[in-house]
Amino acid sequence: MTFEISLIIPVRGDGPFLGQALESVAVQGVSIAELLVVDDGMTQKAFDAIAPLANEFGDVKILRGPRSGPAAARNVGLRAATGTVIAFIDDDDLWPDGKLRKQCGMLAQDSELEAVGGRIHWFSQWDGRGRPVPAGDDLNVVHVNLGAFVYRRGLFDKIGLLDEGLLYSEDVDLLLRMVDSDVAFAILDEPMLHYRRHAGTMTHIRTPREKADLNRSLLASLKRRRIGGAVRPGKPLEHFLVRCGT
């Protein structure tokens, strides 16, 4: 089965790592039907980073963002997307080799799956050749990040778009809605995203708003799980882990 993949990437500011992010997508060996760049306050430097790699993608669209947070920017891309599979990447992260082949392969094998994720590798340095430099603070974790997943487009028709009221944790909220709605998904037991840790990320410094948005997501999930006064227990992320090739 061949999928048409829509890649959504919101960009704000100079996008100093944007070229690296797009290069990691371009070398996947799986074609991207459309690249949807959401201009959420891009400078000319960010536009210049896209130009050299534009011919690597089937269709490149620059969409005007609302400048009101990541969820709102990504929803602009979701509303415009025409592909059967949705993928996300932030402008400072990287995709590991084989990500799309493995995840889309699972979607092709199992029509019940609505999404396929993976572990997340946190890193701080890059070697200039498309690979993170191992460092003492590297972590390989089961965590929540939109860039670690690919999604069937119909998933968002079933459970809705990202919650634009959340400045943080919109990815946590989406995953909890998937769990609460009994959406079938899997998490590959190997990294499907290299997450760059640096001073420019929103989560570099913990803020009261970050904690409040996470708590709001968790409370919304608990309310959905209440049936007749009882709470239906959720499953830990590790429950959804599968080994690649199985």
According to DSSP, the residues that pair with 185 across neighbouring strands are 115
For helices 70-80 and 170-180, give the axis angle rounded to 10 degrees: 60
pLDDT at 245 over 60: no
CA distance 230 to 115: 28
According to DSSP, the residues that pair with 118 across neighbouring strands are 188
Name the pTM for this structure.
Answer: 0.89
More confident residue, 121 or 137: 121
Residue 61 CB partners (closer than 8 Å, separation 6+): 34, 35, 36, 37, 80
Local confidence band at 140 (pLDDT 50, 70, 90 cut-offs): confident
pLDDT at 202 over 80: no
The pLDDT of residue 246 = 42
Q: What is the mean pLDDT of the chain?
A: 88
Write the pLDDT tens digit of every residue in 42-64: 999 999 999 998 889 989 999 99
According to DSSP, the residues that pair with 152 across neighbouring strands are 85
Domains in the chain (CATH in brackets) are 5-242 (3.90.550.10)
The pLDDT of residue 236 = 73
Beta strands at 241-242 and 185-196: parallel, antiparallel or unpaired: parallel
Write the pLDDT tens digit of every residue in 154-182: 999 999 999 999 999 999 999 999 999 99
Compute CA distances 56 → 26, 37, 82, 136, 196, whole Å: 6, 14, 18, 34, 23
Is the CB of residue 113 less than 8 Å from the CB of residue 32?
A: no
Local confidence band at 235 (pLDDT 50, 70, 90 cut-offs): confident
